[in-house]
């Protein structure tokens, strides 16, 4: 999922999508592709939008969200629905995140029909990033079985945030049938 403009990262994204911002000498998306390759995930598609031509060198199957500037991640995912139809397990990744191989290994090893990654220790980093983390946080509430029961609303207090959605989700074929 690499359609976004990355407005909050301006000026770094004036001429490139968020996933092409460099970290440690290479674009964010290359970090992802490297981890996927290490984990033997080879069938990779990219949903593009803003500055989509910059993703052509990556040689993956691409789908384009021409309405990237006024839609969201769900609309981008729908652009790739023909790829999803009839697929086995599918992993959906935000194109602008970096994660360690152990995170992908854990996700790939999960047997649940629908699973996602959550950073339960997000508060320390958030406090380093901003003076008032609550102004940027969204709710993420878990039930007693560690299932997400609320996600993505404006957090009113720290008790509304039990972790941060990391942008990696696995959907098994049996979830959609």
CATH number at residue 30: 3.90.550.10
The reply to whether 57 falls in a domain is: yes
The reply to whether 177 falls in a domain is: no
The reply to whether 139 falls in a domain is: no
With bands split at pLDDT 50, 70 and 90, how would you rate the model's confidence at 42? confident
Structure confidence by residue, pLDDT tens digits, 71-102? 888 888 888 887 777 778 888 999 899 999 99
Q: Cα 124 from chain centroid?
A: 21
**pTM: predicted TM-score of the whole model, two decimal places:** 0.83
The reply to whether 87 falls in a domain is: yes
The kind and range of the H/E element at 122 are helix 122-129
Nearest C-alpha neighbor of 165 from the set 144, 143, 142: 142
Worst-scoring range by mean pLDDT, 25-39, 63-77, 91-105?
63-77
Looking at the structure of the chain, the number of domains it has is 1
4 touches 93 (CB < 8 A): no
Q: What are residue 140's DSSP bridge partners?
A: 151, 161
The kind and range of the H/E element at 30 are helix 28-38
Cα-flanking dihedrals φ and ψ of residue 29, to 5°? -65, -30
Long-range CB contacts (within 8 A, 24+) of 99-107: 99/32, 99/35, 99/166, 99/168, 100/35, 101/35, 101/38, 101/39, 103/166, 103/168, 104/35, 104/36, 104/39, 104/41, 104/168, 105/39, 107/168, 107/170
- Alpha-carbon distance of 1 to 80, in angstroms, equals 10
Enclosing domain of residue 14 = 7-111
The reply to whether 168 falls in a domain is: no
3-state secondary structure of 47: strand
Worst-scoring range by mean pLDDT, 59-63, 150-154, 163-167?
59-63
Q: Cα 69 from chain centroid?
A: 17
The reply to whether 81 falls in a domain is: yes
With bands split at pLDDT 50, 70 and 90, how would you rate the model's confidence at 176? low
The reply to whether 97 falls in a domain is: yes
- Averaged pLDDT for residues 59-67: 83
The reply to whether 123 falls in a domain is: no
Tokens of 125: 């980093």
């Amino acid at each position: 999922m690499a359609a976004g403009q990355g407005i909050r990262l301006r000026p770094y994204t004036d001429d490139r999508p968020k996933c092409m911002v460099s970290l440690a000498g290479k674009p964010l998306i290359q970090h992802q592709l490297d981890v996927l390759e290490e984990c033997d995930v080879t069938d990779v598609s990219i949903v593009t939008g803003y500055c989509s031509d910059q993703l052509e060198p990556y040689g993956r199957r691409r789908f384009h969200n021409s309405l990237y500037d006024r839609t969201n991640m769900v609309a981008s995912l729908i652009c790739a629905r023909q790829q999803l139809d009839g697929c086995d397990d599918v992993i959906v990744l935000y194109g602008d995140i970096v994660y360690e191989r152990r995170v992908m290994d854990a996700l790939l090893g999960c047997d649940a029909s629908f699973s996602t990654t959550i950073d339960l220790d997000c508060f320390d980093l958030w406090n380093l990033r901003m003076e008032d983390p609550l102004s940027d946080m969204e709710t993420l509430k878990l039930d007693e079985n560690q299932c997400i029961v609320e996600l993505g609303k404006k957090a009113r207090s720290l008790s509304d945030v039990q972790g941060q959605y990391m942008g990696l989700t696995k959907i098994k074929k049996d979830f959609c049938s």
